Amino acid sequence: MLPDTIKIRPIRPDEWLPDRCLTGLEPFDRNSCPPEPGCSSLNHFQKIDRETLEKWYRLAIDEYGGCGFVAWENDKIIAYHNFFPGEVAKKFKFYGYGFAKSQPDKTLVHNCLTIVKGDYLRKGISSRLVKESIDWAKANDWKRFEVHLVLPDCERGWQSDQKSCLSFWEKFGFRIFKEYRADKESEKYYGVTKRYSIYLSLDDNN
């Protein structure tokens, strides 16, 4: 169970829109840092300005009902999980998207799961954020949740800004639907030879 001081809330434009990975040791004060155009995952295939980033987030929230959750403590950000509907993801092919020529309807695509380090690790915060996202997706009649470029379990994978190792996602019921050779950068940095695309069926009939 999370400490009472930590609150999980949906991402809202009037509070904060995720625009960076949380790499520090202390909670992030959104009021002390100027807005950025987006983390590296959203700039992987094309450079995105702040106006475009806000447009996509607002589209996901206004037309589809949401795009993720933020963990707050004392009005500071300690972690977040965000995702985009497949229709929005196709518009900018962010990091990890675009392996399939076609995609099932009503699919959410994971973008980022990141948490500040230090005392906030290993307290179940990341797992709680993913659970909130899955519960929201089921309640809003989404049928499928995808995560791409997932790593085999490896030491550097667990230490990275994102929770991208396979066994983390498997505990929520995600399953591999595509395996592919890791790029040279991943081979060198993580020491892995393959990566995965995984999915969770949100349809009770499957």
Rounded to 5 degrees, φ, ψ at 66 are 170, 170
> Taking the C-alpha atoms of 89, 177, 22 and 28 in order, what is their torsion angle to the nearest 10 degrees?
70
pLDDT of residue 205: 58
- Sorted by where each starts, the structural domains of the chain and their CATH numbers stand as 6-201 (3.40.630.30)
Rounded mean pLDDT for each run of 10 residues along the chain, 206 residues in total? 89 93 88 82 68 90 96 95 89 60 82 87 90 97 93 83 82 94 90 93 76
Residue 97 pLDDT: 56
Cβ-based neighbours of 205, under 8 Å, separated by 6 or more: none
Q: Which residues touch 181 (CB under 8 Å, ≥6 apart)?
A: 193, 194, 195
pTM: 0.91
Q: Is 74 helix (H, G, I), strand (E, B) or coil?
A: coil
